[in-house]
Chain A
Amino acid sequence: ETGVTQTPRHLVMGMTNKKSLKCEQHLGHNAMYWYKQSAKKPLELMFVYNFKEQTENNSVPSRFSPECPNSSHLFLHLHTLQPEDSALYLCASSQRDRESNEQFFGPGTRLTVL
């Protein structure tokens, strides 16, 4: 257990569905992240929130919409996804004012888009 939880662990959705991924961190960190992990590719940073404010959006399509209501919770709202969006979506948290910025990861949500 890393102190970061994600739900659901697995999700299958059609291209017209709307769903949300949830992440919660119990570590008192001030930064949270969404990553996409596809087979044999580097982790792709999608969004970064520092103190609940979005500081990074790495050219992510608008069909992915993040929400950070407080420093412990992070959501990723999904709508009209494409089959190529099928991947493992990882949430992470860190304490950004520590020099190392070590990130702690949740177990991920395995998303399949049909």
Chain B
Amino acid sequence: GQNIDQPTEMTATEGAIVQINCTYQTSGFNGLFWYQQHAGEAPTFLSYNVLDGLEEKGRFSSFLSRSKGYSYLLLKELQMKDSASYLCAGTDSNYQLIWGAGTKLIIKP
């Protein structure tokens, strides 16, 4: 079967670091996306990992382990504007996206 799991909700403090985990099972896996979605807005692309390892983009980094079916999104120096839902999506052999339910991240001052 095809399945993406991620925590429903996480809370973190402004200025801190938070790691959002995602495990996946997709047939013919090709790569893994992370999207950010603010309330009432469209999901926007954050990262796409195909190879194992960590990719860094400013305050955000994304990690992939293909052998473990595992990814995480790391957010550093958290800002209040980072309060949003973070969606994990794996691609199958047809590059169709299989989506997780999203992790709602709450940032507290």
Contacts and interface: CB of A to CB of B under 8 A. Distances in A.
A107 B43 CA distance: 8
Contacts of B102: 40, 42
A108 B97 contact: no
A104 interface: yes
B97 to A, nearest CB: 7
Contacts of A42: 4, 99-102
Contacts of B97: 43, 45, 101, 103
Contact of B31 (A45, A96, A100, A105): A100
Contacts of B40: 110
> Chain A, interface size: which category?
20 to 34
A1 to B, nearest CB: 10
A100 B48 contact: yes
A101 B96 CA distance: 8
A17 interface: no
A4 B99 contact: no
B108 to A, nearest CB: 21
Interface in A43-57: 43, 45, 48, 56
Contacts of B4: 42
B31 to A, nearest CB: 6
Given A42-B101, A42-B102, A43-B87, A104 B45 contact: yes
Interface of A: 2, 4, 40-43, 45, 48, 56, 90, 96, 99-108, 110
9 interchain residue pairs of minimum CB distance:
A105-B42, A101-B95, A43-B99, A42-B99, A42-B101, A107-B42, A105-B43, A100-B48, A102-B45
